[in-house]
Amino acid sequence: MSVYEKAYQPEDITRLLVERVNKGDAAGVAELYADDAVIAFPPGQITEGREAIRRLWEVLMSSNPKFEPEEPLPTLISGDIALTATPPKDGAGARAQVVRRQPDGSWLRVLDQPEFVRPESVQPESVPQS
């Protein structure tokens, strides 16, 4: 089992996600999510739980995506919860994540909205669900 770098600042999660996606490491990406995390992906659907998120990323990585870092918006922190967001470089809306501080001081995603799309523009894709 690999030991992954942890996010000790909420903003670190996006950087680590980009690095792990670009390496094709679905398990490493999944480690950035809490066990009970929810991601709004594929568009118009939700994927729940770290294991289902790992499977989702395995499918997504089969096309060998390459992500570029995006400049984060200011993080909002309230106790052990934080809201992070980035405007996509392609100008297509925004990305937002809610992260939760863990007992060791690191942060994990609990809610992930990687794309904001209007329901009528959603084109469902075939990905594994939990």
- List the Cα angle 66/70/76 in 5-degree steps: 135
Per-state percent for the chain, helix, strand, coil, to nearest 5? 25, 25, 50
What predicted TM-score, i.e. pTM, was given to this entire model? 0.84
Amino acid at 3: V
Query: Residue 51: exposed, middle, or buried by beta-carbon count in 10 A (0-12, 13-18, 19+)?
Result: middle
Residue ranges of the chain whose pLDDT lies below 70:
1-2, 92, 117-130
pLDDT of 2: 63
What is the biggest distance separating any 2 CA atoms in the chain, rounded to whole angstroms?
A: 42
Query: What was the pLDDT predicted at 110?
Result: 98
Which residues touch 66 (CB under 8 Å, ≥6 apart)?
21, 22
